[in-house]
Amino acid sequence: MNIAKMIDHSLLRPELTTDDIRRGCEIAASRRVASVCVRPSDVGLARAALSGTGVLVGTVAGFPHGDTRTTIKAAETRELVDAGADEVDVVLHIGRLRSGDTAYVYDDIAAVVAAAQGRVVKVILENAYLTDEQKVTGCRIAEQAGAHFVKTSTGFAPGGATLTDIQLMRAAVSPHIQVKAAGGVRSLDTLLTLQEAGATRFGATATETILDDFAARERGDHPTTAAAPSAGDY
């Protein structure tokens, strides 16, 4: 199992300096993770830092609230692609989903998918604000609009990824749509539990801790059985 290639190393906190971004890219490259996920203004910096490493450059659009106009989300996505982004994590319009305006949510996501020009698009639902029915609806709309992933959270809401949400989202979409867990994925045990439930990508800031723990277990330094987390562990 290649745990590293399941991780998007997250560099989204507002206080991060350019040196922090460079250091984060160094970590991502040395650990050979799937991608970094950087703020939009850092895409060019990350592209240069990761050139030739095989680590993808991910970024965000409509972040973190999802309530920018569709034309702005699409324009932002086109600019990010031009700057070198390989993947775009976009926040759907949470308020419109909660209002039952499914046509708006569909058009919003579809515009971003078109603007991404074939790049991977991950749709963030921000589950902390949604009912289970709304989560399922959001996942199905994301799939219909052409997204490649559905994602639990931005990491900036009151709650993050939970086991029950991953199970719900996995069941809501077709097998070719992937599920990304983000928000509170701080340990290897949490990652493994959510992976077993159907998540294939993980947004994490604790990348080194997770991968060091995995390497130690591979060497036999620690037990390999992951305890199932309780609802409050995320």
| Catalytic site includes residue 89 | yes
| CB-count burial class (<10 Å; 0-12, 13-18, 19+) for 152 | buried
Among 135, 165, 180, 213, which one carries the catalytic annotation?
180
In this structure, the number of other CB atoms found within 10 A of the CB of residue 116 comes to: 24
| Catalytic site includes residue 151 | yes
Task: Please enumerate in sequence order all residues whose Cβ is within 8 A of that of 149, keeping only pairs 6 or more positions apart, or say none.
Answer: 120, 121, 122, 123, 177, 178, 179, 180, 201
Among 89, 108, 165, 213, which one carries the catalytic annotation?
89
Among 73, 122, 135, 151, which one carries the catalytic annotation?
151
- Cα(213)–Cα(189) distance, integer angstroms: 9
Give me the amino acid identity at 71.
T
| Catalytic site includes residue 135 | no
Residues belonging to the active site? 89, 151, 180
